[in-house]
Amino acid sequence: MALKRMHNPAHPGEIIAENYLAATGMSIRELAGQLGVAPSTLSRVVNGSARVTAEMAIRLSKSLGTSVESWLNMQNNYDVWIASQTVDFSAVRKVKLPQSLRVAEEQPRPSCDP
């Protein structure tokens, strides 16, 4: 199965900044209050220096009417892209699996070529 190459996905903080803060005119402090987190916590996410955790994804989902999974998927896509750009995977070798475990290999799985 050919793996699909990702192209620089946005950090979820960029989405928060552009689609929610800028669109509503809300400040980080105001949205942080709605989320029940410290403004510094939300600021780190918006600035891309912190991840959207499961807890933050739930808060964003409840406050913004989005799905938890959408925030976690955005974060995972961003993390995979960053790892594929910054980590040397040349030493990784494929493990020869017994036939009973090979069925899982045929399942489609999102990934990117490092």
Q: What is the dihedral of CA 12, 13, 17, 23, to 10 degrees?
A: 20
Using left for φ > 0, alpha for ψ between -120 and 50, and beta otherwise, residue 36 falls in left
Per-residue confidence (pLDDT) for residue 2, from 0 to 100: 43
Q: Which pLDDT tens digit goes with each residue over 74-111?
A: 999 999 999 999 999 999 999 999 988 886 555 555 55
Per-residue confidence (pLDDT) for residue 102, from 0 to 100: 80
Q: Which pLDDT tens digit goes with each residue over 34-73?
A: 999 999 999 999 999 999 999 999 999 999 999 999 999 9
Per-residue confidence (pLDDT) for residue 16, from 0 to 100: 98
d(CA 35, CA 62): 8
pLDDT band (50, 70, 90) for residue 7: confident
CB neighbourhood size of 60 (10 A): 26
User: Please, what are the domains in the chain?
Assistant: 12-87 (1.10.260.40)
